[in-house]
Structure formats: C-alpha cells, structure tokens
Amino acid sequence: MARIRTIKPDFWTDEKIVELSFEARLFFIGSWNFADDNGNLQRSAKKLKMQIFPADAIDCEPLIQSLMAHGLLSEYEVNGEKYLHIKGFTTHQVINRPSKTGLPVPGSGSTPTPLTDDSLTEGKGREGKGKEGIKTVGEVIVGGSPTRELSDDFTPKDASEWLRHFRTKHGFEADPTNVNDRKKLWPVFAGWVNAGLTAAFVDTAIATASALAREPIICLPLYVDRFMANQQAARASPDRNARDESRRTAAQVLTSVTVSQNHEPPDGNFIDVNAKLIG
C-alpha cells in the first residue's frame, strides 16, 4: 500500500542525489511511497515500474543498480526472495508505531505472514490511507504511522495529531522539527485541543473560510484560526441597534437631554456641550 511521504528542500542539493539521473531521483522518491515503514520493498523492477512510472517507457532495473551503486539502496534475500532496503531509512526516522508489514527485514531469515491492505494501520487521508508522523532519511522527511485511527469526526489530542490531519486531509505540510513552524502552529493547535474542537468542526470552518477567501491562503491553520476567532467575535458582538440604544440611554442619563435617533452623530459617540456637572 502506498504511503504519503514528504521531502525536505535540502534533498535536492544532497551530494549523492545530484549525481543521479533525473529518472533515478524520481524513482528514489517514488520508492518511499511504496516502501513499508522499515524502508523495505520487493525487489521487482517490473512492479516498481508499474507503481512509479505507469505511463512511461522507462526500464527501472538500471535505476535500481544506480541507487545501489550510490549507497542509497541495498539488496537482500530471505527464503529465496529478493528485497530492497532504503539505507538509513530506520536509522534517521522517528516512527512511534510502525505499520504492520508482510516484508521481512534484512537479516531476519524469515518472511512474516502476508497482510491484506485492510490490516495495515494506516489512516484515511486525501490520498487514500496515509496517516503519518514525521521521520527523516538523511535530508528527507517521510511519513510513518499515527498513534491511533483517525476519522473526520475525531478530536485530536495534541498538536501532532492536528498536523497529521491537516497533512492527510488538506495537503498542508509543516516540519515539526522546525523551530519557526512549531512557534507558529503549536500554540494554535494547543488552543484547539484545550477547546476540544473536532476535526469535522475545523474542516467545516476551512471549507467556509476557503470559499470566502479573497487572497491566497499562505498558512491554512493560522488562516482558519483567525477566521474562527473573527466569527466568534462577530457572534459575541451586541446588535448594532441595541448598542446604539444603549448609547442614547447613557447620553440621556448624563445630560438630561433626550437624543433623537434621527440626529445621532454617525459614529454614535458624542459628549453634549450642555452636560451637567455631577458631584
């Protein structure tokens, strides 16, 4: 089953990556989507070609050989079956709860019982099932498994779950290891957790805010948070007629002058020159 993965900008200037052909670079990125959370793949150039380049006449065997020559992939065999391992995948990742897999790990000597797609602990997202945490392979960030099953009506319990929901549901990407991203987003997510907001509630707000947006939305969580705050403030504001009536009453008490609705200043704020001195 394909999994959602993301890439850090530094990937493109990595010394090993720049030595690869364009096809090999894209093939390497595509391999993350189809590798399990241990970084393993079946050693089948034909299968990987159909997964990564379904509409292109590209021979993937030379690409695999190139990636192995550059130390990015390694080959291993278990029970007569060959597999590929993305080198450094597990060393540099932080996967709290890896998904179950039917692929053996290098050196295991045995193959686990194959599992169906339904048994994989992946969550629902925009691109099928794809809940993930954040992991790194060298300079690459890739996705892994979440702490629990997510759905549109769940209540995220921390900032990580909110970020995961935004990634899988709305395609919004942020790096939780980046200080600036955490500084901007974590207070917002913490406020939503404290308020007990559900994913479905925020999704509805996102849909409304996006429909009303008159400018490009740069940071979706911050934008929708401001939108919800403005909506709440608007609901909490007193009715204008009631506010104006309150002002007229206050003016009459202070000045003993009845203020006509037809002669109230435009902004409703004034001090009558005939106001009596009190005290």
pLDDT in tens, 47-89: 999 999 999 999 999 999 999 999 999 999 998 899 999 887 7
Pick 255 or 245 by higher pLDDT.
245
Spatial distance between the Cα atoms of 202 and 205, rounded to a whole number of angstroms:
5
Q: What is the pLDDT of residue 52?
A: 94
**DSSP SS3 for 271:** coil
| Amino acid 14: pLDDT | 87
In a domain, 68, yes or no: yes
Please give the pLDDT value at position 258.
Answer: 52
- Mean pLDDT of the chain, nearest integer: 74
Domain presence at residue 274 = no
**37 vs 128: CA distance, rounded Å:** 17
In a domain, 137, yes or no: yes
Residue 230 confidence (pLDDT) = 86
Distance of alpha carbon 56 from alpha carbon 197, whole angstroms: 45
* Span 166-195, average pLDDT: 86
Angstrom distance (rounded) from CA 224 to CA 172: 12
Question: Which tokens in the block code for residue 13?
Answer: 């200037």
Res 20: pLDDT? 94
Predicted structure pTM score: 0.42
Domain count, the chain: 1
Instruction: Give the integer Cα–Cα distance in Å for 263 and 164.
Output: 56
First to last CA, the chain: 81
- Residue 46: the pLDDT is 94
* Residues 9-19: tens digit of each pLDDT: 888 898 999 99
Q: Quick check: is 15 in a domain?
A: yes
Residue 134 has pLDDT above 90, yes or no: no
Cβ contact 130:3 at 8 Å? yes
Tokens representing residue 227 in the block: 């939108």
Domain annotation covers residue 167: no
- Choose from 224-233, 246-255, 269-278 the range with maximum mean pLDDT: 224-233
Domain presence at residue 229: no
Residue 86: which domain range?
A: 1-146
Q: State the pLDDT confidence band at 106, using cuts at 50, 70 and 90.
A: confident
| Residue 32 within any structural domain of the chain | yes
In a domain? residue 264: no
User: Counting beta carbons within 10 angstroms of the beta carbon of residue 134, is it exposed (0 to 12), middle (13 to 18) or buried (19 or more)?
Assistant: buried
Residue 38 reports pLDDT greater than 50: yes
* Helices marked H in 124-196: 159-170, 179-195
